[in-house]
Amino acid sequence: MNTGCTVVTMVREPVDTILNFVSWYLNLGAEKIVICFDDPEDPALGVLDAMNLERVETHACTPEFWRSLRISPKHVMKKQKAVFNWAYRNAKTPWMLALDGDEYLYLGGRSLDDFIATVDDDIPAVRFLPVEPVGTQDTAQWFRSGAHRRKLTPIYGDDIKFFGARAGLLGHSEGKSMTRTGLDVYIRLHWAKTADGTPLKNHTVGPDQGACLMHYFNNGYDEWRRKLDWRKSAWGFAKAVSEQLDSYDERGLQGLYDRIHTIDADQLAALKALNAVHNINIDLAATRSRVLGC
């Protein structure tokens, strides 16, 4: 069994988020972490370089970098795909995992190599379904997963429209994929495609299999607000929903954030009944302190 995985991301995130990402995947045993900084003057780039971490490789996405990939740096998702495919072609490990900077694999206490050792030899890719942290009055940590929109409407009421068609998630519902290297494939944001455009066969896992993608879509109001305009365009909201978002003042946006990112005891019980919420207790700060000492 060939183990070993390269983790690659393109980031424009706060320093703390990037350090959490790096420490998490170092702790999982990633053989290489490739981080491409969309802002070539990102202060986190200097912070990481100063740490001189053996398994972390950084790249500033300068105009020269984008020219080397033959891409115009105008569209975030096109840049991400270019970075992922460049990293895939250059990966020295048997597997590559392409992620956003706010996404963390949960493997139930296993390392990446431990998990890979369970994957059958004829499986070219593994797709990890996403879960999102949700605030509750409970002391436990809860992450919601996807469920049928019809079943969720009684739980979220009129606010269900802000979830779009994303099966009860505010972020993507497709998940992210870890792909064997050396294949004739094109790496997209959520999975790879073969030369004829067919999605590459993948083995899909989620919370019920003890492995999932923790997508920290809820990372505090300030961060949510900073990304709102981009997310509106990326989600493709219905016109009426976009107009409603545009009509909110700051207080209205804060209220919306609180409603869609926190749930009360009744909502928690209803999501439990649908198996659409999961207790995953992790501590990103403790992992970062242990691994990086900061």
- For 110-120, write each residue's pLDDT tens digit: 999 999 999 99
| Residue, of 143 and 237, whose pLDDT is higher | 143
Tell me, yes or no, if the pTM score tops 0.85: yes
Q: Give residue 182's pLDDT band: very low, low, confident or very high (50, 70, 90).
A: very high
The stretch 134-143 carries a mean pLDDT of 88
Q: Which two three-digit tokens encode residue 117?
A: 């050792």
Cα gap 53→284, rounded to integer Å: 19
For residue 83, which amino acid is it? V
As a whole-number percent, the residues of the chain with pLDDT over 70 amount to 97
The stretch 29-40 carries a mean pLDDT of 97
Q: Which two three-digit tokens encode residue 45?
A: 């780039």
Paired sense of beta strands 125-128 and 277-279, if any: unpaired
Cβ atoms < 10 Å from Cβ of 88 = 20
Q: Give residue 142's pLDDT.
A: 96
Q: Give residue 233's pLDDT.
A: 67
Q: Give residue 134's pLDDT band: very low, low, confident or very high (50, 70, 90).
A: very high
Strand partners, 105: 213
| Residue, of 126 and 239, whose pLDDT is higher | 126
For residue 68, which amino acid is it? S
Indicate if the pLDDT at residue 235 is higher than 80.
Answer: no
Strand partners, 126: 178, 203
